[in-house]
Structures are given as C-alpha cells and as structure tokens.
Structure 1
C-alpha cells in the first residue's frame, strides 16, 4: 500500500513540482491549494499517513490548519514548510505538535528523507507498550500518558522522548546524544525544539513531584524517575 500524503501548498508552481516529485518516489499525493478545502475532509475517512503544510497561506495559515487537523486526528504526523526560515515559525510549529519543518525552497531529496524518517518513527511502537512513570502510566501504542487527575494525549515525538528518558533513568544524558538518536541531526533549531519538548514533558508530569528532568548547563539533562513501582 502506497503512503498517502496530504499536501497543502497555495503556490501553484511549487505545489505542482512537489506533487510530481513525491509521486516519482511512489507516494500517493492529494494536493490542496486552499487550506479551507481540507476542513470538510477531516470529518471523513481521512486516509492520509502524513501531512505537509505550508505556513504562509492566505485565508488560513498552516498553523491554524494544523490545530484543526490535530484536534480531530491527534497523532497525525505533520511537516511544516516555511519560506521565511525564522525561529518563531519553527518553535510555534513544534509547540502545536509538528514532527518536523523544512525551509523553502527545499531540497527534494532532503524532503523525502525527512518524510521517511517521520513515517519510520510513526510505525515504530516500543515492544513494551505500557510503562510506569512514577504515578503515571504511559500507553505508548495509544499515545496516552495516564494519571488519576487526567490523561494527556502525546505526540509521537513526545512519546519517543519520554521513552528515551525512561531508558536512561537516573543518568546524565548529553543533549547531543538525544538529538542524534531521536532527531538524527544536531543544529540550533533541533536543539531549541528539544527544549520545547522537555518543557512540555515537565508540565505533563507535574502531578508527581518525585519525577525530575533537571537541566545541566553545558551538558544536557539529569533524569530521575524514581524506582519503577
């Protein structure tokens, strides 16, 4: 079965080039120039495996569309395209729940590589699907962090990072190791995205004061999730 891609790009020339290149790589692409046309599709079967959204679009920007998509399809993988290549765009997308971003004009081969990496992470479910995290229970398959005070739906990236931290419990973890192991790259923007995700995990784990993800200046993070119960 071919991977089905939702492509939302208002630029006719660029959208057509992307669509044709992706189809040459055996992806099945549905291209929307108007992001508002995607909204009715959200209430249908929504057969797509990944979405590629331009950020700067008239009427509705990519961030607004992403919020609507993730409200209906919580764990849907998203890759943002930005022509501006500005930090605010990237961090906003990551906070919304994006899996990756790429500046336009983008190298088609790099785009393909990032798509395949996202899909590989999406398909990879840990052998142990339920794990204790202090007073919480992580259901990796359902992307749920479960607690008596309420459940939190995680993105795939948040789930992967939490499992990574669990595997390195009571250890000092280097930032470079996390970035290379999970992001497969290490630059300024991936470093900032890691900080965003660490901050979000700390908020999610607030109901158990014994759980610690401490920043160690110049090195990385020291994790203490206690002794598994």
Structure 2
C-alpha cells in the first residue's frame, strides 16, 4: 500500500454527491470517511482527527454552519471546505466567518473540489512542516526518506515511515488507533486496529533501543524521549 495523504471526512446527505466526492478524493490519494448526519459527523471528527472536512451546509439536524461553530468552540481547527447549493454572498461570508477555510457551490467540478482541498491543506501544513524530525535517538528526513536510529541507517517501508513521522512529529501527543489509521493509512476501518499494533512492533524491532514509541494502555501510542 502506498502512503496515504491523510483522511478527508466528507459530510454530505445526498448519496450521489457523497459518492462522487469520495471517488475523486480517493483517486487523488486521500482516504475518505463519509457521514450524512451533522451529529454523527461531530462525534466522528473527535474519533478520527481527519486532515480536512468537506462539509455540506444544508445538512439535516445540525447544519454545516452550526457544526463548524461547534468544532471551533471546542478549539478544533481542522481545515474545512464548505459545500452549498446556495450561491449567495451572505452565505459565503457567514461560512467563512464561523471558521471555514474555503467555499464551493453546487454544481461543482469534482476536480475543482480536489484542487481546493489540496490548496487548503498546503496553506495549513505545507511550509510549516519541517523536513527533518528528531526525537531521542531517532532522526527522520522527509525529503530523502532516510531514517537513522542512534546514528545507524534504518530501512523502513512507506507505511512504517509514515507512522513514525506522524508519531515523532507530535511528541507527547497520544494517538488512538483509529486516529493513526486515519492519518497514516487514510482509512477509518475500526476492524483494522491490529494493523497499527503490527506496524508499531515492526518499528520497535527495526529501531531497537532508540525507538521512542510508547504504548498508552487502553488508548494507543505516543512518542517521547527515552
């Protein structure tokens, strides 16, 4: 499996539109999790920590604007692209004022949506992401795809590299298995938790005593100094 570009959450109650968005985003290398209800989406964002949300404004129950308000109120600033059927300047301004990052109006080109998703993610993560990460005895270079453990070169698979980069890129943060599945594998299959455990075990075997990954029992994993 090639390394995913992260999990995008699509919140859309029209199945044919959700399917179209899912297919094009997957083709662009993103994992995709779809929700059709605002309340379910609010809960899923907390579980999965997507890299971005594509959010329909006209949802039943909690609409898109209210969902965005609630996310920002709990200090969740996940990048967000609003989708709406209403081509009205007031709607666009309202959406962006409550904390949206971009806005696209139906009907839209799926390719334009993918381009906007990429643009928003570059603004949020591109220039500020360091190419070299170090923690304890581990050094990782994103550009050359090289890893060293206590000065010793280590060969990692693309998935192992992505998992290590995610963990040491956020030292001290505790990741649940669903969050790692979303961010590294680009999927939200709750039956695949064992996949994370197997890859962590492989990293520990390859990195040896330098490995900074710690098990947080009952929750998941974190990386910190030895």
TM-score by length of 1: 0.51
Question: Unaligned stretches of 5+ in structure 1?
Answer: 128-229
Q: Find the counterpart in structure 2 of residue 108 from structure 1.
A: 110
Distance across 1 between alignment mates of 2:71 and 2:33: 15
- Superposed counterparts of 1:84-103, under 5 Å: 84-103=86-105
Describe the shift of the 1:82–1:100 C-alpha distance in structure 2 as closer, same or farther (beyond 3 A).
same
In the alignment, which of 51, 54, 57 is matched to residue 52 of structure 1? 54
Higher relative contact order (CA 8 A, sep 6+): 2
Q: Find the counterpart in structure 2 of residue 68 from structure 1.
A: 70
Distance across 2 between alignment mates of 1:93 and 1:106: 17
Paired residues, number: 126
Q: CA RMSD in A?
A: 1.8
The residue matched to 2:49 in structure 1 has which SS?
coil
The residue matched to 2:65 in structure 1 has which SS?
helix
Over 3 Å off, 4+ runs? 124-127
Question: Which deviations, in whole Å up to 9, do the C-alpha atoms of 1:175-226 show, x marking residues without a partner?
Answer: xxxxxxxxxxxxxxxxxxxxxxxxxxxxxxxxxxxxxxxxxxxxxxxxxxxx
Q: Does 1:4 align with 2:7?
A: yes
- Superposed counterparts of 1:154-169, under 5 Å: none
- Superposed counterparts of 1:1-229, under 5 Å: 1-2=3-4, 3-44=6-47, 46-125=48-127
The residue matched to 1:97 in structure 2 has which SS?
coil
The residue matched to 1:112 in structure 2 has which SS?
helix
Distance across 2 between alignment mates of 1:30 and 1:42: 10
The residue matched to 2:33 in structure 1 has which SS?
strand
